[in-house]
Amino acid sequence: MADAHETQIQQRISSGDDQAFEAAYTLFDARVRAVAWRIVRRADWLDEIVNEAWSRAYTSRTSYDAERPFVVWMAGIVQNVQREHARASPTTLGDVSPEADPHGASESNGQSPETLVSEAEVMLALNDCFNRLGPEDARIIRLRYFQNMTYRSVAQEVGIAESTLREHRIPDALEQLRRCLQKKGVEIPQLFSAQTEGLGQLQGEV
């Protein structure tokens, strides 16, 4: 749910307020970029598509309905930009479905803009909570749960006893993640349903 500041910005955007749009860019760009990654899944396209989506949003800002979350509106625009790129490239695995609403009421890859935004919010929360772990603990969780390595393999990889890994390091790291994610309204099961490439992209590994 948008806070009072976000709501005020959203209400001003539809009136064509340039300063409000600039504020929206500062406030929402990280979330829009996370949503775009969920849609695009191509690092070589990401910047171009995000930039084009913001450009189109600015051009059509007076059509924005302030009752609709801004990032959801942006997600629809990103979907449409991605479709155009997908049609233009024979090598893409992107959605090439028929023309969609230019103002973002469409769905791509079977997911609505609302669903894509929700997934991106989970990814951002996960990324932030991972950054709060120590480097070795983050590596352990990644190896065990995102790369599906066995306890024994993880223990050998990081050079600690398997019993220590099972009884202390992993439970302690998961509890830290659980507490952090809980404050953001995300449950631990959502952590393990997050896709590895999304986490890597947000952490600059793609």
Amino acid at 101: D
Of 95, 111, 127, the residue that ends a domain is 111
Q: What is the CATH number of the domain that holds 191?
A: 1.10.10.10
Same domain for 152 and 72: no
Same-domain status, 127 and 66: no
Residues 36 and 88 in one domain: yes
**Residue, of 104 and 11, whose pLDDT is higher:** 11
Confidence bin at 5 (pLDDT 50/70/90): confident
- The residue out of 84, 111, 138 marking a domain boundary is 111
* Residue 94 backbone dihedrals phi, psi, to 5 degrees: -70, 170
Task: Please check whether residues 98 and 171 belong to one and the same domain.
Answer: no
Q: What is the pLDDT of residues 31-58, one digit of tens each?
A: 899 889 888 877 888 999 999 999 999 9
Q: Specify the pLDDT at position 75.
A: 92
Same domain, 9 and 57: yes
| DSSP conformation letters of 148-202 | ---HHHHHHHHTS-HHHIIIIIHHHHHHHHHHHHHHTT--HHHHHHS-HHHHHHH
The model's confidence at residue 90, banded by pLDDT at 50, 70 and 90, is low
Q: How many domains does the chain have?
A: 2
Which of 82, 111, 140 marks a domain boundary?
111
- Within this chain, do residues 142 and 88 fall inside the same structural domain, yes or no? no
- How far apart are alpha carbons 15 and 13 in whole angstroms? 5
Distance of CA 204 to the CA centre of its chain: 13
Per-residue confidence band for 197, with pLDDT thresholds at 50, 70 and 90: very low
Nearest to 120 by CA among 195, 24, 67: 195
- Asked if pLDDT for residue 62 goes beyond 60, the answer is yes
Put simply, whether the predicted model's pTM sits higher than 0.75 gets the answer: no
* Same domain membership, residue 94 and residue 14: yes
Q: Same structural domain for residues 91 and 181?
A: no
CA distance 126 to 43: 20
Domain residues for the domain of 30 are: 4-111
Q: Which of 4-13, 116-125, 192-201 ranks highest by mean pLDDT?
A: 4-13
- What is the rounded average pLDDT of the residues 71-93? 81
* Claim to verify: residue 105 and residue 40 sit in the same structural domain: yes
Residue 57's CATH number:
1.10.1740.10
